[in-house]
Chain A
Amino acid sequence: DGGITQSPKYLFRKEGQNVTLSCEQNLNHDAMYWYRQDPGQGLRLIYYSQIVNDFQKGDIAEGYSVSREKKESFPLTVTSAQKNPTAFYLCASSIGPLENNEQFFGPGTRLTVL
């Protein structure tokens, strides 16, 4: 899992609550990403950031928000507007946003809505 940490490992949320998933990297990478993984659907991109103080929506950004105030941190907030948030969330980083850079992934956070 390299130098990327995600916390918590497991998270339980009641309906109507916002929760924030932490992602920290010590790899000095410029680019960071958030993915959602559901069984049989692979990874879907939620948000990505190519540089500090900048981020872009991915394919399924509705109901999620992010910030990138520091190079090493890219927290994801799952808001009450996300209708089906139960999933495995993966954070990743890469040296830069160039197309040929591989991504390094954290260990993931499993979010369950009660």
Chain B
Amino acid sequence: AQSVAQPEDQVNVAEGNPLTVKCTYSVSGNPYLFWYVQYPNRGLQFLLKYITGDNLVKGSYGFEAEFNKSQTSFHLKKPSALVSDSALYFCAVRDDNTNAGKSTFGDGTTLTVKP
């Protein structure tokens, strides 16, 4: 079985400060991990993914995420937040040991960046 948790419903940061949005996962095989962003009343947009290889993954809009196998985490980070980064962020996982095609999404974390 696969599952993913986003322990924070809301993250607030000041513009220019670093931001972290947390994600932990559970899989029986190897994880494939994804981050998506959703702006109000819109669909989700893909930010980045971890498949294999380098634990630090770089994605769109200056975001990056670090895969930590021992802590089963895949936290999303950005060195300097922008007000325009304010949105709803979803972490998703797929287990390479389960039926292909099914992703499990976290409940989402609302990021608010204040000027």
Task: Please determine whether chains A and B interact with each other in the same assembly.
Answer: yes
Residues of A within 8 A of B (CB): 1, 4, 6, 31, 33, 35, 40-45, 48, 50, 56, 58, 90, 92, 97-100, 102-108, 110
Q: Contacts A90-B44, A100-B51, A102-B46: A58 and B102 contacting too (C-beta < 8 A)?
A: yes
Complex Cα gap A107–B38 (Å): 10
Chain A to chain B contacts (Cβ below 8 Å), 17 pairs: A1-B45, A4-B43, A31-B101, A33-B101, A40-B108, A41-B107, A42-B108, A44-B105, A48-B102, A50-B100, A92-B44, A99-B32, A99-B94, A99-B100, A103-B36, A105-B44, A107-B43
Query: Which residue of chain A has its CB nearest to the CB of B42?
Result: A107
Query: Which residue of chain A has its CB nearest to the CB of B97?
Result: A99
Tell whether, in the assembled complex, residue A1 and residue B107 are in contact, meaning their CB atoms are under 8 Å apart.
Answer: no
Which residues of A sit under 8 angstroms from B106, Cβ to Cβ?
42
Query: Which residue of chain B has its CB nearest to the CB of A48?
Result: B101
Instruction: Identify B105's interface contact among A1, A43, A99, A102, CB under 8 A.
Output: A43
Asked whether any CB of chain A lies closer than 8 Å to the CB of B22, the reply is no
Q: Contacts A42-B106, A42-B108: A103 and B46 contacting too (C-beta < 8 A)?
A: yes
Complex Cα gap A110–B102 (Å): 23
Asked whether any CB of chain A lies closer than 8 Å to the CB of B67, the reply is no
Asked whether any CB of chain A lies closer than 8 Å to the CB of B90, the reply is yes
Which residues of A sit under 8 angstroms from B86, Cβ to Cβ?
none
Complex Cα gap A43–B106 (Å): 8
Asked whether any CB of chain A lies closer than 8 Å to the CB of B103, the reply is yes
Interface size of B as a range: 20 to 34
Tell whether, in the assembled complex, residue B108 and residue A105 are in contact, meaning their CB atoms are under 8 Å apart.
Answer: no
Which residues of B sit under 8 angstroms from A92, Cβ to Cβ?
43-44
Q: Contacts A31-B101, A41-B107, A42-B107: A108 and B46 contacting too (C-beta < 8 A)?
A: no
Residues of B within 8 A of A (CB): 9, 32, 34, 36, 41-46, 49, 51, 90, 94-96, 99-103, 105-108
Complex Cα gap A105–B41 (Å): 12
Tell whether, in the assembled complex, residue B43 and residue A105 are in contact, meaning their CB atoms are under 8 Å apart.
Answer: yes
Which residues of B sit under 8 angstroms from A99, Cβ to Cβ?
32, 94-96, 100
Which residues of A sit under 8 angstroms from B36, Cβ to Cβ?
103, 105
Q: Contacts A102-B34, A108-B41: A56 and B101 contacting too (C-beta < 8 A)?
A: yes
